[in-house]
Each structure stands twice: as structure tokens, then as C-alpha cells.
Amino acid sequence: MLKWLIVAALVAGAAVLVWLLLPSRAVVVIPAGVTSADPGMAERGAYLVRAGGCLTCHWNKKGHGEPFAGGLPLKTPFGTFYSPNITPDDETGIGRWSDEDFVRALTQGEGVHGEELYPVFPYTSYAHMTVEDALAIKAHLATLTPVKTPKRANEVVFPLSWRALMKGWKLLFFSGAKPIANDPSRDATWNRGRYIVKALGHCGECHTPRGVLGEQIDAQYLHGNAHGPDGWKVPALAGAGARDLDQWSVEEIEEYLKSGVEPDFDSVQGPMADVIEDGTKHLTDEDRRAIALYLKSLNAR
């Protein structure tokens, strides 16, 4: 009996190992006739790149890097990760990526060679994005000047340095690409705000506390994060801890997203300063208002 239990355990172990080692290829469904080369896609993508915060993470300003060429270090409890080059360079960027490759990476967390992407890249939020928006972002990135900047190796603690383990992480904490559907009980402005906050702007990635394995704690979505990027304490946007935001008006939130100035005339500090400078200040007044209205609705009494 013991012999057969050992054999079964070895077979099961071998099966898990094979599953971990085999490259992933999630199915990507792109609507018929839609491509990143469609007219107007690049112009639309230029705006979505700002809304999506792409420049903030893929530009190592302090290191005198080029915009979108990556190299920005992000310190986490699991090690330091370095953002990749997303310019259209054929060798070190995304110049050879197909539409399917890009959508798969953005919404499924799988690299061009089938490798698992670490969730420090916010694909868990981008999974709620529409395919059309993802392709528009790719279209804009394709118009950039290629920059040859090789990816710097991440400094990840063992055993998480073995990327294949991310398959198990996904099995536990990621349910795949699920574009957000509009809530028919809410108006268009509220739905737009929710889409920007949850998908494009991926606000929950920083403003939601994480568990011991780095997963977002869904029950505490936007409730603040004491251990945010580079050690910054990220404030709550929802829940009992959002007392400061509760006191802000919709107009004050709009102004903060545009100028970085708080109602008490203090200025934004930390990572949020780059989010505003590179992202939200470039949004339309309508989109900033949509964000503000959505956030205020989360704390409505």
C-alpha cells in the first residue's frame, strides 16, 4: 500500500511540475474586424495611455531614462521589479508583438513567449479593460520612437524568482479577462468613472491592502494600503478609513486630479505626484468628474 502511495505522489508531483513548466497560451478573443491598425486607434490610444498610467511606470525619470523605455525600480516585500521597455523596438521592446500578444499580456498576464508575468504589472486590473481599448493603447505605442533598452533583471526573493510559480498564484487569485459591463441602474458618468478607477486607472493596485501572497483583498477594495509602492502609506478611498476623502467635494477631487492641490492647499506627495503629472492632469474634465463622482458614491451614506 505504501509503495503505491509513493508512486501516486511521484506521479502527481511530476504532473504539477510539467504543468508549471509548460508555457501558457490563454485564449484571446478579439472582435472580428478590429485591429490596432484601424483608423483613429493611435489617437484614441494616446489618451488611454495617459488614463492607464503607462508612462508613470515605464519611465525611469530619476535614472535619466527615456519615456516608455522602462527601467523604473519598484520595491515590494517580494523584491525589486524593473518595468520593461514598451517602445516599438524590435529587440528590446514590443515592436514584434502581435495584437494577440499585447492583449494577452495586458489582460491575461502572459508574456510574448508564454512566460508568466508578475502581478506587479497590473494585469489583474487591466483584465477588466475592453479589447478595443487595449488595442488602441498598442496602436499609440507603435507610433513612438523605438528605444533600445534591454530589460533589467528583477531582484525577486526565492522561490518566487521562479516565474512558473505564478501559475499557481493565478489559479488562486486571478479569474482571467472580464471586461466590466455597465451597471444599467447607474448613469453613463458613474459607469465611466468605475471603468477608469477599476480598469484603466487600476487604482485598486495601490489603494487596496494585500495578503501575504501579494493578492488584493477584494473585501477591502480601495480601503487603503499601509505598505504601498516604495513603502508609501496609501490612503483609503472607500470604507471607514476614507474619512479625509469623505470631506472632499466632487469639485475638490476633480481639482486634486488636475493640479495635485488638496483642499487645504497642501500639494500631492509620493507616487501619486507622478500619477497626476503623467496621467490624470491630461484627462478631460468629464473623465475627472466621472472618477470623482464614482469615488464619492462608494462612501455615500
Distance CA 222, CA 277 (A): 21
pTM, full prediction? 0.90
pLDDT computed for residue 160 by the predictor: 81
pLDDT in tens, 122-147: 999 999 999 999 999 999 999 999 99
pLDDT computed for residue 19 by the predictor: 47
Backbone angles phi, psi at 75, to 5 degrees: -85, 130
The CA distances from residue 37 to 40, 71, 93, in Å, are: 9, 28, 18
- 107-145 burial by CB neighbour count: b if 16+ within 10 A, else e? bbbbbeeeebbbbbbbbbbbbbbbbbbbbbbbbbbbebe
Name the residue with cell 522602462: 70
pLDDT in tens, 23-33: 667 888 899 99
Distance CA 202, CA 207 (A): 9
Query: At how many degrees (to 10) do helices 271-278 and 250-259 cross?
Result: 90
- Going by C-alpha positions, the residue among 201, 267, 204 that lies closest to residue 56 is 201
How would residue 269 be classed by pLDDT, with cut points 50, 70 and 90?
confident
- 164-196 burial by CB neighbour count: b if 16+ within 10 A, else e? bebbebbeeebeebeeeeeeeeeeebbbbbbbb
Element (H, E) at 76: strand 73-76
Instruction: Give yes or no for a contact between 23 and 113, defined as CB atoms under 8 angstroms apart.
Output: yes
